[in-house]
Amino acid sequence: MPEPVPEENQSTSLSGLFVEKPAENVVAVAGSDVTFVAKVDASTLTRKPTMKWLKGKWLDLGSKAGKHLQFKETYDRNTKIYTYEMKIVKVVAGDAGGYRCEVTAKDKCDSSTFEISVEAAHQEGQADILSAFKRADAGEDEGDLDFSALLKATKKKKKPEKEEPEIDVWELLKNAHPSEYEKIAFQYGITDLRGMLKRLKKMKEVQKPSEAFLKRLESCYSVEKGKKIVMSCEVLDPNVQVKWLKNGQEIKPSAKYVMEANGNVRTLTINKSNLSDDAAYECVVGEDKCSTEVYVKEPPITITKLMDDYHVVVGERVEFEIEVSEEGAHVMWAFEDQEITKDKDSSKYRFKKDGKKHTLIIQEATLDDAGMYHAWTNGGHTKGELEVEEKELEVLQDIADLTVRATDQAVFKCEVSDDKVTGKWFKDGVEVLPSERIKMSHIGRFHRLVIDDVKPEDAGDYTFVPDGYALSLSAKLNFLEIKIDYVPRQDPPKIHLDTTGNMVSQNTIIVVAGNKLRLDVEITGEPAPTVVWSKGEEAVVATEGRVRVESRKDLSCFVIEGAERTDEGNYTICVTNPVGEDKAVLFIKIVDVPDPPENVKCTGVGEDCATIVWEPPKFDGGAPIKGYLMERKKKGSSRWTKLNFDVYESTTYEAKRMIEGVLYEMRVFAVNSIGLSQPSLNSKPFMPIAPTSEPTRLTVHDVTDSTCSLRWLAPEKIGAGGLDGYVIEYCKEGDTEWVAANTDLWEKQGFVVRGLPVGEKINFRVVAVNIAGRSPPATLSQPVTIREVVEHPKIRLPRELRTKYIRRVGDKINLTIPFQGKPHPIATWLKDGQPVDPKMVNVRNTNVDSILFIRSAEREHSGTYELVLKIENMEDRATISIRVIEKPGPPVNVRVTDVWGFNAALEWEPPKDDGNSEVTGYTIQKADMKTKEWFTVYEHNRRTNCTVSDLIMGNEYQFRVYSENLCGLSEEPRMSKNTAVIAKTGLELKQAAYKEKDMACAPKFTQPLVDRSVVAGYSTAISCSVRGFPKPKIVWMKNRMIIGEDPKFLMQNNQGVLTLNIRKPSTFDAGKYCCMAVNDLGQDEVECKLDVRVAIETENK
């Protein structure tokens, strides 16, 4: 196995900051907890150190904190040692590997590495070469891609797996083609593929020196998706032609692939790289070639829409749907700890991709499909739970007893909840077979048995038994015999009501809303009576329509098609004939499914649960409410999940197994004997959240006779509910009643409790509050005595004020002097022993500091200032020396004291005004009396005299001197009172008579124009040079036409060099150009021919 690749040198220096490091090799049992502790000595550090826990070389575990990974930090003020803890809860196989803890503090750095091995209880641990490249397990929004280790085990028992032989991944990578690297990495869970390839490169044999290449391509290149990458090599022959290949295929030049040759260097540039550019590349020269690998880093694909939970019955279709951040992303699906693949599970699962949507489809769910399903991308993870219940058949309409007469038709009808259920009909326990007179039908959820031409032998008990269910529906068929008595006498009318069938009590009929009611009433009497039906006072006379009356011999039929709630009431049937009359009253009761429940709302939430309440429906449908069914969904999702299959009787329900921080909605169905109501309105979105943990590090900052100042830090665990503020409470020692010190939530991490009784011992506590409620309180270890402690006054004079404080005139002076002492001290400022003048100096005092402010400093503000701090008979003093300076005045009495040879001696006296600052030097300047130009001779000269040398013979010099202090040179110099004349030594200059030369001449071109041929569209210029005096006038012409102020032409004249610039010429600009120079003495001209040709583009194919 190759040695690990050493890490690159860091910019910070390594130093021994750790006083305790984690154990180097730790063996953990799967399912147990393991804790690592590191301690850092901060006694030599100027600021708080920063700790990072890393897995492998780059994976920062700080962002993975949650239930699985927990981090803790404590600080001991006495020993100045920081203690850092990392706890892995319920270790899994994916936690195995190399780890590193790294601490940094400004320019210091220290690190410690350790290894974790995970052993299972039922088998011996195996050394895994890939352990250093595996990633850790984490929560639902995990962004790491480790499909083999991150799948969580669930309560479902795993099937025993076959032991597979160990595979040497290094050998696989050695013998594989570079295009297969990513596939091998995905299959064996390798995440640090780049690191393995670097090691693999060292393992390979060194190639022989190439005869065609001076410098080969790099072994590999890495580029982020969308960026540009440049690959270059050097060839021996600068004129040789090369070919570029990608995965063995030649690359053609294009806007994406740019090939360049510059001397011996051959370059291939790939613009806007994408995943298809992740391949093997070769540069071929004859029979020789060099190769490289390009790795395109794909940005992490995040999951934008999480997976929903499902609660279904056996046989239903399930669709787990997610959305990712980019189209074409790779998504891996898994059930429990097993990956779902198309090849192995194609008969049971289907995969669907639609843009950014990815769907896993289960055609018909079974009990074995129940469990946790996962979806993974290289930047995210989501999961959803599938619950599968046994299918229960619900009877929506039972079979009713029938009483029919001979030759009439009998129809038995029932309705069940599943339209796919088949069944059989039985009569007195014997299966009924179809015939010409007996017909059976199954349409949707309705099952019918129709018996035509009823005969006496058809009477009996009929039963419908659904296939596959322990359920039966029974009803009785009664045969009504008609007896004819030949009585010569007349009979009064008589109504014969059948009290069986739909009648739950005498003269009361119950009808399900939407069903048909057909009431056949037998009537006797001679002569045939007249029948009148009425509802209340209103007679029903219609023979057609939804509510109608049908009359037959000795039978009156009352029919209601599609019963409605308004049809409920008392109905009267009255029969009359000459002999008499008879009357019967029937009450028809319409029953229906109930109205939906009302006011569904969430009254309380927990970390993974919520309490839902609602009000019963206003109308129960005419039948008592049996209970309720609840459903929930995530906000934004369209998939509802059933929470119960058995009817729930209460109007308060606690929903569990929810995800903290996710918005949910609830709806409720009401159930009576008729069926299921419409769903209620959705509840307002609610989020399962938990209160925060208690605030940390509650301390007492200050105590007076009536107040107590408290400080604390935010809770370690805040959660999805956030933090709204704090409540500060107090109570006297021995009492149990806590009093709130603030009426509104306090957002800061410090509070002053006021109005406390002096001398009392008070207990304090602080509670964090969010939308989920109050956190556990943070309390003090002991009560606080409310009494101000006398503390000597102490001035904390800043270091820069302990020496003389110097400022320039006009500057702003703002001195802040902190101090301490109890009770609050009185601060007084003195200047030179006298109280400061408030007109000149502004003073502002607070409880903790005093500020001396001067808006614009003047020299009179200079002096010794003293701050006096008094508490009763105790005091403290601090002295500050302030000097306000400005530029000095000029020196006095500057004079030349001696002149000899080429030298002159100067002397002067210091300035009368030094600007309130010591004069640090002088600047001396000289000037020739002829030119009057001043030149600096000396700078920062500390003496009040100097000697000026190297003066020119025959010249007379004057001198001036500036004085200098911390503010700079004086505003004005002091001129020397006399001058220094450097006398000549026996030389006399005889000047010749000056004769002015006549420079006038006619214009003459010294450099002519030159014919040019240019390409259209490329700017050009023509030039010539001319001489002449007086300065000649220049005229440019094209084809003997003067060129005016045309913006296309730019004419320049630089010391007689004439240039005509032509901007982007076209064929129209071709012709003869002439330049003419004219003055009073004559003229001259030159011309040239300009040829403009059109560029011809050639394509190399």
DSSP 74-140: EEETTTTEEEEEEEESS--GGG-EEEEEEEEETTEEEEEEEEEEEE-SSS-----TTGGG------T
**pLDDT for 484:** 52
**pLDDT tens for each residue of 322-334:** 998 888 788 888 8
768, pLDDT greater than 90 = yes
Residue in the structure block whose two tokens are 């009497």: 525
897, pLDDT greater than 50 = yes
Q: What is the mean pLDDT of residues 772-797?
A: 86
**pLDDT for 130:** 39
Backbone angles phi, psi at 1045, to 5 degrees: -90, 40
Q: 520 or 654: whose pLDDT is higher?
A: 654
Backbone angles phi, psi at 194, to 5 degrees: -60, -40
904, pLDDT greater than 50 = yes
Q: Structure pTM?
A: 0.35
Burial class of residue 105, CB neighbours in 10 A (0-12, 13-18, 19+) = buried
| CA separation, residue 270 to residues 1, 179, 260, 279 (Å) | 35, 18, 12, 12
**pLDDT for 3:** 37
For the chain, what percent of residues have pLDDT higher than 70?
Answer: 88
| CA separation, residue 952 to residues 900, 919, 926, 945 (Å) | 12, 32, 12, 21
**Buried/exposed 525-536: b ≥16 CB within 10 Å, e otherwise:** bbeebebbbeee
- Cα dihedral 232, 234, 235, 238 in deg (nearest 10): 100
Report the candidate in 659, 662, 690, 714 with the shortest Cα–Cα distance to residue 774: 690
564, pLDDT greater than 50 = yes
**pLDDT tens for each residue of 357-384:** 999 998 888 888 888 899 888 778 888 8
**pLDDT tens for each residue of 246-273:** 988 889 888 889 999 888 899 999 998 8
pLDDT band at 598 (very low <50, low <70, confident <90, very high): very high
Q: What's the whole-number average pLDDT of the chain?
A: 83
**pLDDT tens for each residue of 522-562:** 888 877 888 888 888 788 878 788 888 888 777 888 888 88
**Buried/exposed 423-462: b ≥16 CB within 10 Å, e otherwise:** bebbbeeeebeeeeebebeeeebebebebeebeeebbeeb
**pLDDT for 1035:** 92
**pLDDT tens for each residue of 508-527:** 888 888 888 888 888 888 77
Q: What is the mean pLDDT of residues 376-404?
A: 82
Q: How far apart are CA 514 and CA 525, in angstroms?
A: 35
For 970-1030, what is the HEC assignment?
A: CCCCEECCCCEECCCCCCCCCCCCCCCCCCCEEEEEEECCCCEEEECCCCEEEEEEEEEEC
207, pLDDT greater than 70 = no
Q: How far apart are CA 873 and CA 511, in angstroms?
A: 101
For the chain, what percent of residues have pLDDT higher than 90?
Answer: 28
pLDDT band at 14 (very low <50, low <70, confident <90, very high): very low
> Could you give the 3-state DSSP secondary structure of residue 174?
helix
